[in-house]
């Protein structure tokens, strides 16, 4: 039961670690995409691929990302750090989910056999209007309001291999801690059981000796209060028997 409980706790801890890693990477990605959202809004509004690509390429290098792209509101790629993707229209499940959401979103995807965390940031028309005031770029926060139009979405893919290795190391350390703790508790339980059974075994042997006619048999008095009282009572009984026979 202890081992099963420990395994359950380890599984929950592993999930918590995975969730924390995702949230940390997502927060970093959202902050970076939010910083370029005003300029990206102008590029999306005017269809200026070179303006978009310049920012996307800089962000790719800064974040060591797998890709950074800008899509219009229909999922067509206007600019992509992998230029062969420009002009394509994405209609996969993840893209449809991103386009349906008015808030930043994250998705774990597999790209070329590599696990990637896709961070998406919707861009609205107010981003373009506020671009002149750099201190108000947070007006680009993706919350639907009347009078705003969605211009598109910025997406960035983070490689997860390094983070997954960290997660695996933490999980391994938790498992080792669980095994060590379980071994300690099992050893303690065995010690306690043996400390109880040893005087009981002595009492059984003494009882068998009395049944064989050895009325002077006695048992050691253990330290446990209840067992000590039993042993003293048994010894008094044997003393009485030995004096009367």
Residue-wise pLDDT for 212-221, tens only, equals 666 566 666 6
Q: How many whole angstroms separate alpha carbon 96 and alpha carbon 118?
A: 13
pLDDT attached to residue 190: 83
More confident residue, 49 or 14: 49
How far out from the chain centre does Cα 155 lie? 24
Lowest mean pLDDT among 14-28, 136-150, 225-239: 136-150
Instruction: Please name which of 189, 165, 169 lies closest in space to residue 3, comparing C-alpha atoms.
Output: 189
Which has the minimum average pLDDT: 33-42, 133-142, 187-196, 233-242? 133-142
pLDDT beyond 50 at 8: yes
| Helix and strand numbers, DSSP H then E, in the chain | 7, 5
Residue 67 has pLDDT above 70, yes or no: yes
Judge whether 70 and 79 are in contact, CB under 8 Å.
yes
Residue 144 has pLDDT above 50, yes or no: no
User: Residue 165: its pLDDT value, please?
Assistant: 75
- Reported confidence tier of residue 223, pLDDT bands at 50, 70, 90: low
* pLDDT of the residue at 69: 96
Confidence band (pLDDT; 50, 70, 90) for 61? Answer: very high
Amino acid 239: pLDDT: 72
Inform me whether the pLDDT recorded for 126 exceeds 80.
no
Can you give the pLDDT at residue 213?
Answer: 66
Q: What is the mean pLDDT of the chain?
A: 79
pLDDT band at 187; cut points 50, 70, 90: confident
Instruction: State mean pLDDT over 71-89.
Output: 94
Q: Is the pLDDT of residue 73 over 70?
A: yes
Q: Please list, in sequence order, all residues whose beta carbon lies within 8 angstroms of the beta carbon of residue 92, skipping any fewer than 6 positions away.
A: none
pLDDT score of 96 = 95
Phi, psi of 81 (to 5 degrees): -65, -20
Task: Calculate what percentage of the chain has a pLDDT beyond 90.
Answer: 37
193: DSSP letter: H
The pLDDT-based confidence of 119 (bands split at 50, 70, 90) is very high
């Amino acid at each position: 039961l202890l081992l099963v409980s420990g395994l359950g706790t380890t599984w929950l801890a592993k999930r918590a670690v995975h969730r924390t890693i995702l949230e940390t990477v997502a927060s970093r990605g959202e902050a970076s995409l939010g910083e370029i959202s005003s300029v990206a809004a102008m590029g999306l509004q005017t269809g200026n691929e070179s303006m978009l690509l310049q920012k996307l390429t800089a962000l790719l290098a800064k974040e060591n990302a797998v890709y950074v792209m800008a899509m219009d509101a229909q999922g067509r790629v206007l600019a992509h750090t992998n230029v062969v993707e420009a002009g394509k229209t994405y209609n996969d499940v993840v893209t449809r989910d991103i386009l349906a959401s008015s808030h930043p979103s994250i998705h774990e995807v597999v790209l070329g056999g590599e696990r990637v965390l896709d961070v998406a940031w919707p861009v609205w028309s107010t981003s373009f209007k506020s671009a002149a005031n750099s201190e108000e770029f947070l007006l680009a926060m993706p919350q639907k309001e009347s009078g705003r139009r969605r211009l598109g979405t910025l997406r960035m893919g983070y490689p997860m291999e390094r983070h997954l290795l960290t997660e695996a190391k933490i999980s391994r350390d938790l498992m080792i801690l669980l095994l060590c703790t379980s071994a300690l508790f099992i050893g303690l339980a065995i010690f306690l059981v043996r400390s109880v059974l040893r005087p009981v075994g002595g009492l059984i042997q003494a009882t068998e000796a009395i049944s064989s006619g050895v009325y002077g048999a006695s048992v050691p008095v253990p330290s446990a209060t209840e067992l000590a009282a039993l042993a003293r009572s048994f010894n008094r009984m044997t003393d009485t028997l030995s004096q009367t026979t």
